[in-house]
Amino acid sequence: MHIVKKIKIATRRSPLAIWQAEYVKKELIRNHSDIEIQIVRIQTEGDRFLDAPLFDIGGKGLFIKELEEALLSKNADIAVHSMKDVIVELPKGLEISVIMKREDSRDVLISNQYNSIAEIPDNSTVGTSSLRRQSQLKQVNSNILFEGLRGNVETRIGKLDDGKYDAIILAAAGIIRLGLAERITEFISFSHVLPAVGQGAIGIECRTNDETTQQLIAPLNDKDTSLCVLTERAFSRRLNGGCQLPIASHAVIENNQIKVDGLVARLDGSKVIRLQKIGELEDADKIGSSLAEALLDNGADAILKDYLK
C-alpha cells in the first residue's frame, strides 16, 4: 500500500512569510513525489503590535513563539522562519533542522529622491525601527533623523511612496523574494552596515524527536549557509542578543575557512566596536563565541549594559 506523507507548515501571515512557506513547499514537492502539504497561517505577537518599536515591546521570539507553540502541540510539523527572527535558545523539544541557501544578506536603501546613503542630506527622515541599522548608519551620516517603520514589506514601501519618509532601509532578501528588486536604490555594503544575525537565510524548525519529518526536510539544507548562520548565532548567544539590540554579525566561507565579522554599537553611533575572526570550518561555533568575547574585552560589555538594564 502506497502511503502519502502529510506535512503541515506553520508560517506567519505576512506576504513574505507566505512566500517562504510556499518556497519550502515547492522544494519539498521537488524532492518527494509522495507528499501532501498544508500551510497553516498563524498571527504572531510581533504582527499584532505594529505601532510600537520592537525594543519597546520587549521579549524575544516575537515573530516565532506562536509558530513554536503549534509545533509543540502538534498542530504543525514544521515552522518556516526568517533566521534573523529566531532566538538563539530554542524551547525544549524543538530544533532548527534545516537552513536553506542564503539570499543576498545585505541591507538596502529605497528612496524616490536620493541615489545613496551618502547623498541623503542632513535632517532627512529615514525609516527603520532597527537599532542595529540606526547605530551603523549614524557612522555614515550622523545627521540623519530616524523614524520607526513597522509592517510588512509592501506596507513599508507604501509609506515611503506616501511621502512619510525620505528613504527607508530594508533587508535585500525580502525585497528580492517578493519580486520588488527594481525598487532597490542602493545595496548597502557590509563595510557600512553589517546585517542582522541570520539575515537572508530561511530556517526550518521541527520537533527534535520527529525523525520522519527531519528526514523529509534534510535535502533542503545548505551546508555552507548552515555553518555561517551557526557561527553568527554563536556570536549572538554569547552577547545575549536579539532583534532589540544594536549587534550585528556576518560570516562567509572563503578558501575553506570561515570568516566572521561582528559588532556592537551605541545607538547614537558615537561608538562602534567591530572585529573579525577567521578559523577552520569545524570550529564555526567556537569562532563565533570567541569573536563575541573579543568584543566584550574591547568595551562591548559597557555598551550592552545600557540596553540590558
Annotated catalytic residue, options 85, 104, 107, 166: 85
> Could you tell me the three cell numbers for 55?
525594543
Q: Are 166 and 139 in contact (CB under 8 A)?
A: no
Is 104 a known active-site residue? no
Strand arrangement, sheet containing 94-99: 35-41, 5-11, 78-82, 202-207, 94-99
Q: Cα(first)–Cα(last) distance of the chain, in Å?
A: 60
Nearest to 292 by CA among 257, 245, 256: 245
> Exposed (0-12), middle (13-18) or buried (19+): which is 179, by Cβ within 10 Å?
exposed
Q: Which residues are catalytic?
A: 85
